[in-house]
């Protein structure tokens, strides 16, 4: 026997106050991480494939940190646009204690110490060939040789003041090696957010423009990033990174992999983050520009979807816009 009309699920949706009262998922600026691109010089450099996103010099990156603090965004994610002349096959600029990333970390922590700084641990912003690691004569990325460099890179960033190091390279075993080095060198409170399930995705194109690696990549990254067809493998990757000492894990990209986020959260009950990547951002901007959707609503709905799926937080280029909308 039907319960209708005694039970009307629309009853609690009838007014705005009631919808707020019965909301199952909460989205606040505290759930946002703002990815920022750092460049040499002081001129703002707009990124054509990421409308509304720019590269920033050190003075401007400090201003973005103050902006994030004032908006209630707790953490910034930094990515360097290394000059072409400093890119080498071995990515040695990643180990320069005065490189662009380290200078940006120090500038932010000196000026806005209360903001969290998350740093990318990978070699692709520094290599001439665009890969995330050291390659052999056949172009294959060498796992253990790369991991050894990543350990030194992570230590360098921690010493500069990074709060979270985020290995995004997908080398096997690198989380355990980094955790051991951080502990041995006194960086016991530096967190590791592992890019645990990072897929070989078609959604990364604008990011490569932003960090200056477009056109450099020889081949693809399918030998180390995950196959989009695989879900069980993602759970194995997450389990390994957690066992090696990761404090949190990331799924990347975001919206096309909400099922992975949900499965990871259900299986491990640990902090899970998603990266709403450059291609996702660009699609929202293109839809808004074409009149196919309203930007503010699209931004908030997609971010809420990440939270509903189980994310503790989301890396999003829309973070400052979302924070302003949430403050209204």
Three-state secondary-structure class, residue 38: strand
Exposed / middle / buried, residue 304 (Cβ in 10 Å: 0-12, 13-18, 19+): middle
198 is annotated as an active-site residue: yes
Tell me which of 109, 221, 252, 265 is the catalytic residue. Answer: 252
HSE on the CB side for 175, CA within 13 Å? 25
252 is annotated as an active-site residue: yes
* Tokens, residue 219: 């081949």
Q: How far apart are CA 118 and CA 33, in angstroms?
A: 9
Three-state secondary-structure class, residue 69: helix
Tell me which of 198, 221, 222, 328 is the catalytic residue. Answer: 198
Query: Nearest to residue 128, comparing CAs of 86, 165, 174, 65?
Result: 86
Contacts with 124 (C-beta within 8 Å, 6 or more apart), sequence order: 130, 131, 132, 169, 211, 213
Q: Which residue has the tokens 């971010």?
A: 303
Q: How far apart are CA 89 and CA 123, in angstroms?
A: 10
DSSP symbols for 151-189? HHHHHHHHHHT-SEEEE-S--TTHHHHHHHHHHHTT-TT
Q: How far apart are CA 12 and CA 273, in angstroms?
A: 31
Angle, vertex CA 262, rays to CA 258 and CA 263, nearest 5: 115
Would you give the end-to-end CA distance of the chain in angstroms?
45
Q: Which residue has the tokens 């909400």?
A: 258
Q: Which residue has the tokens 């500069």?
A: 160
56 strand-pairing partners: 38
Greatest C-alpha distance within the chain: 75
Contacts with 66 (C-beta within 8 Å, 6 or more apart), sequence order: 111, 112
Q: Which residues are catalytic?
A: 198, 252
């Amino acid at each position: 026997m039907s319960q209708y009309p005694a039970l009307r699920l629309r009853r609690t949706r009838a007014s705005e106050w009631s919808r707020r009262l019965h909301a199952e998922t909460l989205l606040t600026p505290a759930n946002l991480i703002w990815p920022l691109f750092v460049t040499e010089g002081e001129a703002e450099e707009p990124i054509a494939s990421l409308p509304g996103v720019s590269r920033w010099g050190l003075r401007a990156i400090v201003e973005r940190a103050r902006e994030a603090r004032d908006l209630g965004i707790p953490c910034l994610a930094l990515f360097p646009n290394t000059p072409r002349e400093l890119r080498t096959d071995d990515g040695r600029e990643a180990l320069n204690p005065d490189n662009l990333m380290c200078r940006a970390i120090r500038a932010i922590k000196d000026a806005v110490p209360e903001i969290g700084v998350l740093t990318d641990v990978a070699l692709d912003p520094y290599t001439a060939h665009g890969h995330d690691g050291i390659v052999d004569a056949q172009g294959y990325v060498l796992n253990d040789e790369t991991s050894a460099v990543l350990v030194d890179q992570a230590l360098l960033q921690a010493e500069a003041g990074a709060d979270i190091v985020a290995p995004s390279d997908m080398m096997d075993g690198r989380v355990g090696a980094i955790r051991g080095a951080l502990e041995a060198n006194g960086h016991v409170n530096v967190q590791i957010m592992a890019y645990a399930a990072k897929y070989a995705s078609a959604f990364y194109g604008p990011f490569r423009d932003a960090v200056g690696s477009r056109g450099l990549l020889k081949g693809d990254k399918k030998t180390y990033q995950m196959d989009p067809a695989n879900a069980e493998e993602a759970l194995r990757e997450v389990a390994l990174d957690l066992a090696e000492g990761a404090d949190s894990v990331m799924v990347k990209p975001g919206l096309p992999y909400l099922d992975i986020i949900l499965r990871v959260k259900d299986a491990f009950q640990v902090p899970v983050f998603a990266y709403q990547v450059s291609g996702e951002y660009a699609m929202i901007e293109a839809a808004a520009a074409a009149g196919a959707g309203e930007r503010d609503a699209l931004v908030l709905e997609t971010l809420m979807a990440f939270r509903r799926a189980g994310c503790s937080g989301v890396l999003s280029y829309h973070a400052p816009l979302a924070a302003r909308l949430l403050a209204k």
